[in-house]
Amino acid sequence: MFHRLLMRCLPALPLLLAAAPVAAQSAVRPTLEVLIVVDQMRPDYFDRYGTEFTGGLARFLRTGVVFANGFQDHALTETAPGHSTLLSGRPPASTGIFANDLGVIDSATVLLPASATSLRLWPGSSPRRFRGTGLYDWLRARDSATRVLAVSRKDRAAILPVGRARGSVFWYAAGVFTTSSWYGDSVPSWLYAWNMRGGPAALAGKEWGLFRDPATYTEPDSMPFENSEFGEQDFTFPHRLPADTARLLLKLRDYPWMDSLILDVALEGVRRTGVGRREGTDLLVVSLSSTDAIGHDYGPDSRELHDQLLRLDHWLGWFLDSLAVLVPREGTVFALTADHGVQSFPELAGKAGRVSFKAMAQRISQEYLSRYGIPIGVTWDLGLITADIAALRARGVNVDSLADALAREARTMPGVERVFTPRLLARAPAGDETARLWRRTIPPQQGWLIAATSRPGWIWVDAPGWTEHGTTQRVDMHVPIIFMGPGLAPRRISRKVTTEDIGPTFAALAGVRPTEPVSGRVLPEIAPRR
């Protein structure tokens, strides 16, 4: 996807490719490994807008090792399962994190400080459901002094790349960056001081206008199907942030400035914790969420998404330069990737539409609740319906017959392409690519009834006004994977790689190995042979 743009940006690239060795040119062990995740980033955005980038995204594209065929290699392409793969070297079926709704929400924890009234309305979060280990565990197995700092707007995006280990893991809620009681009893003093500055609240009433000359944007700014969920009709520039502070703090996730806040918190954390300023290798994880929110509201073909990427490029350039003041460039290695892509609005996709299992799952749930008087755990997430199979069987339900009935009903829905039951998935041949993706998604111990894939262009949404990801379509699975750092010459790699390769590759650079079997592989173009 990046070929034409790289040829424009790097006239001498053919010579670089001819001369570059297979392995990285430098065997220097990094003092800081940085994972930057742009939530919902599609690789084709580099083709569309790359010549306009002048900041951080431009730096990755023009000086990094670009894996043009990077993928999230599982079926349910959402934030939680996607982030669980990034540094664990394993698919969701192994990490146990296969869906957003069964990700990190944990009622046994509270957000900190526990005395904050505004945070009591928000659920606690933890990695309690995460299974196995990840890069931070592998680093600590060699060096117990290893430090980690993870920051995001989303709890699941901050938590899951780190895994079950306790560390400096922070996310946004109710106008502040916080953590949960899983990680300690209080927020650190430096984060408390950052929150007291009131940066988010200062954005109340601010106008989101175009970052550059309107003539440079080719996308139409007159699509009424954009950002019209719940009856809202805010689909043209300029967009005004809520003037009411309380509403702003809830809606801030929908605007570009959230990324700048995340990056600022990450820099302050590096400054105050000393991450990356030791002899050993530390880990920094920054997951940027605004592209996801804006992509859902306005779609990947919108003027708003174009503008968001220009702003992200600018802020990411500032972040890279500022980080280099704190941690020397020669000891820092970066990886840039995404947790999933996104579909275009069906209104733009021709013969496409929306389909949902919500009504079917709710009907079954209510039916069995009425029959037995207790919930039997029927839930849905995009094309997957799960249930408490043991509870159903204990009440004499023929689970296979129930699954077959739901599958027959699902196959009659417009937009549904294939439907698996547990029995059908078990019988599917090894060469069935769709079955393979679902096997890599659903943990063996998870009870479920049906798993479906949608037709091209169809999204798992039951209402208009926004678009979605979560399918096995290429636009949802295809993600950028770019490494940048000392000794890595710019080049483009066309073979398929997956996000599960990032953690083992970082581990090899740091001179450690995974402490359990992983499916991800060390990328030889990045990690030196020792």
- CATH topology match: 3-188+254-345+472-510 vs 358-454: no
Please state the domain extents for the chain.
3-188+254-345+472-510, 358-454
57-72 average pLDDT score: 98
> Under CATH, to which class is 358-454 assigned?
alpha beta
Residue type, 386: T
pLDDT digits (tens, 9 = 90+) for 412-437: 999 999 999 999 999 999 999 999 99
Q: Are strands 207-208 and 176-178 parallel, antiparallel or unpaired?
A: unpaired
| DSSP symbols for 318-340 | HHHHHHHHHS-GGGEEEEEE-S-
Residue closest to 108 by CA, chosen among 122, 92, 125: 125
Mean pLDDT of 341-369: 92
- Residue 106 binned pLDDT confidence (cut-offs 50, 70, 90): very high
Whole-number pLDDT of residue 237 = 95
Please compute the mean of the pLDDT values over residues 344-356 and round it to a whole number.
88
Task: Tell me which CATH code domain 3-188+254-345+472-510 carries.
Answer: 3.40.720.10
| Mean pLDDT of all residues in 263-269 | 98
pLDDT at 374: 84
Q: What is the pLDDT of residue 231?
A: 62
Q: What is the pLDDT of residues 365-414, one digit of tens each?
A: 999 999 988 888 899 999 999 999 999 999 999 999 999 999 999 999 99
Closest CA to 333 of 487, 525, 484, 527: 484
Q: Say how far residue 391 (Cα) sits from the centre of its chain.
A: 33
Determine contact, residues 121/100, Cβ cutoff 8 Å: no
pLDDT 10s digits, 136-156: 999 999 999 999 999 999 999
Which residues, other chains included, contact 144 with Cβ-Cβ below 8 Å and sequence gap of 6+? none
Beta-carbon contacts of residue 424 (< 8 Å; ≥ 6 apart): 407
Ramachandran assignment for 490, one of left (phi > 0), alpha (psi -120 to 50 degrees), beta (any other): beta
pLDDT at 126 over 90: yes
Full-model pTM = 0.93
Is the Cβ–Cβ distance between 472 and 434 less than 8 Å?
A: yes
User: Residue 465 corresponds to which amino acid?
Assistant: G
